[in-house]
Amino acid sequence: MTKKVIKLDKLKRTIALQQEYKERNKNVSTARRATMASKDVFPLGRNAREDLYADLFTNGSTVRYPHGIVVKYGMNSPIKTFYRGEAKDYSRKNNGSKCRSSLGRELAGLETEAERELEFFTAQLKIIAFSNMINELKHNLDWNYCDIFSYVIAQHYGIRTQYLDITDDLAVALFFACCKHMGNGKYQPVSKRDIRENDFGSHAVLYKRVDDLTINLKAEKKVKDVLPIGYQPFTRCYKQRGYFIDTMKLGDIVNYDLAADHGFEKLYFKRTPEFAAEIYELFDGGRELFHDRSMELLSGLIDEIKTGDSFSEDSFDKAYDNFGVIKSKDWWLTKLAAYGTEVGEPALELSDDLKTKIDDSWDIKEFVDQERLAIGGRMVYYPPD
């Protein structure tokens, strides 16, 4: 199959255009914030159409989706486009390579269905343990603007899940295609040596899908499969303009493939060391994408969850209700024990001192003001089933 290669000049033009739109979002959001107490019927325009159009460029419009209420990002492109970048083309050595979730990749490496079943259930225990932990924080208790998607947040902070990260920001996707993960949220740009000796190859992978209902009415059915995370009190999600796909919706996360199952086009671009360094510096070496003071304080406990083999009865009950009811609780408890996973006392505890330190590091008003969000409900059209 012939590879479809996209030129760097085209990528750079798209990044520049998206940056213009993001600057417009900041200006419109600032204007919206200034008029939130206004009694004018159309504070940002001369009529309803102009005012509603401004909502598309407002950082903070709250919209209800099937998975919950979202505080949305302002539009950053004239046509809605989704991306995912990967540093290596894994199909070069494995023709059956698929673009799937972190948990899907983990399960694919196991030999038997029984192993995959238990590993999947254990992964759900870890996601729930993570959710329970952050639910105790002031971030959750004070945040009343929208739903907090803790199951997706877990993916952004290193817990393996069935959710696949997507973004509508080309530069973010290119960061992951141009930089290698060094561990603990640290990245380095791909170098000449990586390309020559470390199996990165000269071409990186960019998955892309354009969702334009005006030219493709069939796209209406696809609009619901890539779901927005929006602004959350945990910052990696919105810094990366995060969206997600629940690969469980198709019933088989091991054989899921982003291109085959959700219509993404697999593209390639020539990743020069110079371009990789340019993208790396665009995000200050990744700090603009990953820095989160609250979660840095929790990093030790998050690492314990990743490697943990002991979970609370509450976590077990929630995982069982969501994913295990086809078998009895005793069956799961017996199999998990044989697998080395204990259910009883939780393996970690968020101490009062650490909780206080984390709570003191975050303030909801300061957060909204710093991000210049104009949070408010908007009416939108959402395609029916």
Specify the pLDDT at position 185.
73
- pLDDT (tens digit, 0 to 9) for every residue of the chain, 385 residues total? 578 999 999 999 999 999 999 999 999 999 999 988 888 878 888 888 888 888 899 999 999 998 999 999 999 998 999 999 999 887 766 666 789 999 999 999 999 999 999 999 999 999 999 999 999 999 999 999 999 999 999 999 999 999 999 999 999 999 999 999 887 778 999 999 998 888 888 899 999 999 876 555 555 455 569 999 999 999 899 999 999 999 999 889 999 999 999 999 999 999 999 999 999 999 999 999 998 888 889 999 999 999 999 999 999 999 999 999 999 999 999 999 999 999 997 767 889 999 999 999 999 999 999 999 999 875 544 556 5
Contact yes or no for 225/249 (Cβ under 8 A):
yes
* CB-CB neighbours of 301 under 10 Å: 21
CA distance 84 to 65: 22
The set of residues, in sequence order, having a beta carbon less than 8 Å from that of 247 and lying 6+ positions away, is 100, 101, 104, 162, 163, 164, 253, 256, 261
Alpha-carbon distance 373 to 201, whole Å? 41
Extract the tokens encoding 125.
């225990």
What is the model's pLDDT at position 128? 96
DSSP letter at 234 equals: S
DSSP H helical ranges for 47-101:
48-55
What is the reported pLDDT for 40? 84
Q: pTM for this structure?
A: 0.92
CA distance 8 to 237: 26
10 Å Cβ neighbour count for 222?
16
Single out the residue of 200, 206, 208, 207 nearest to residue 273, CA to CA.
200
